[in-house]
Amino acid sequence: MIDLSPGWQVALEVLGWVGSGIVVWSMMQQRILRLRVYNLIGCVVQVLYNGVLGVWPVVALNVVLAVVQVVNLTRLLRGRDDPASYSVAEVPAHGPLLTQLVERHREDVARFHPGFTTPTASADAFVVMSGDEVAGCVVVHDDDGVAQIELDYVTERFRDFSPGRFVFRRSGVLADRGYRAVASAPGTVEPYYEQVGFERRGDRFVLDLTA
């Protein structure tokens, strides 16, 4: 252990508590990317803290955990652009799967689509799957060849990865149904569409599916 002045000892103690707090906070995250990032930061802080104290078993443990998080983060960031990471399935707009998903996350859905209640009668609905888990859903209706989005919802766990892009682009399901473009719902809160290739047009974001 390095011989430190009282002031530096206090600073080191604070660093240790901050590192522990970050690790605990990381385990409370529902969004998997944030969990990994915060946990990595906490591990690095613990490496510094315990390295100064000379507690080498704890240093070694946190180095291993940090490496694990780096590997997992690399896989996650690569996987979000990998078509194999998600699949898209069409479901009845008023069927039990979509109804249960919306009702279960009703308050969260209202945060991003405050005007949404239920799909229109002629809506097309799709769920995005990550393995066996439902990552989100997209509900659209035909507006003269444009897929007008009624609902574009991603569960909190997958929100950092924008899996809706697989419905709009990679899956081809909208183009296969004859849609020429996709338009976001007016008033969408925290829109991410420009990040996945949409263009702003007035109060909406539009993606050309024929390009």
Domain end (from 16, 44, 79)? 79
- Quote the number of domains for the chain: 2
**Cβ atoms within 10 Å of 196's Cβ, excluding its own:** 14
Nearest to 46 by CA among 7, 80, 27, 18: 18
17, pLDDT greater than 60: yes
Quick check: 16 and 49 in contact, CB under 8 A?
yes
84, pLDDT greater than 90: no
Tell me the C-alpha distance between 79 and 62, whole Å: 25
Residues 67 and 88 in one domain: no
Q: Is residue 127 situated within a structural domain?
A: yes
Domain end (from 79, 113, 131)? 79
Residues 29 and 87 in one domain: no
Q: Is residue 31 situated within a structural domain?
A: yes
Residues 41 and 19 in one domain: yes
Residues 151 and 68 in one domain: no
Q: Is residue 181 situated within a structural domain?
A: yes
Look up the CATH number of the domain holding residue 116: 3.40.630.30
Q: Tell me the percentage of the chain whose pLDDT exceeds 70.
A: 95
Residues 32 and 118 in one domain: no
Domain end (from 53, 79, 105)? 79
Q: Is residue 44 situated within a structural domain?
A: yes
Q: Is residue 1 situated within a structural domain?
A: no
Residues 202 and 115 in one domain: yes
Residues 136 and 197 in one domain: yes
Residues 99 and 37 in one domain: no
The dihedral through the CA atoms of 126, 99, 204, 161 has a sign that is negative
| Mean pLDDT, residues 120-132 taken together | 91
200: tokens are: 């702003």
Per-residue model confidence as pLDDT tens digits over 31-62: 777 888 899 999 999 999 998 888 899 999 99
- Domain containing 32 equals 6-79
Map tokens 């996987």 to a residue.
Answer: 79
Tell me, what's the pLDDT at 5? Answer: 74
Residues 89 and 163 in one domain: yes
For residue 57, give the amino acid letter: P
Quick check: 126 and 90 in contact, CB under 8 A?
yes
Residues 58 and 89 in one domain: no
Nearest to 62 by CA among 49, 51, 39, 46: 46
Per-residue model confidence as pLDDT tens digits over 173-188: 999 989 999 999 887 8
Q: Is residue 97 situated within a structural domain?
A: yes
169, pLDDT greater than 80: no
Residues 51 and 107 in one domain: no
Residues 101 and 203 in one domain: yes
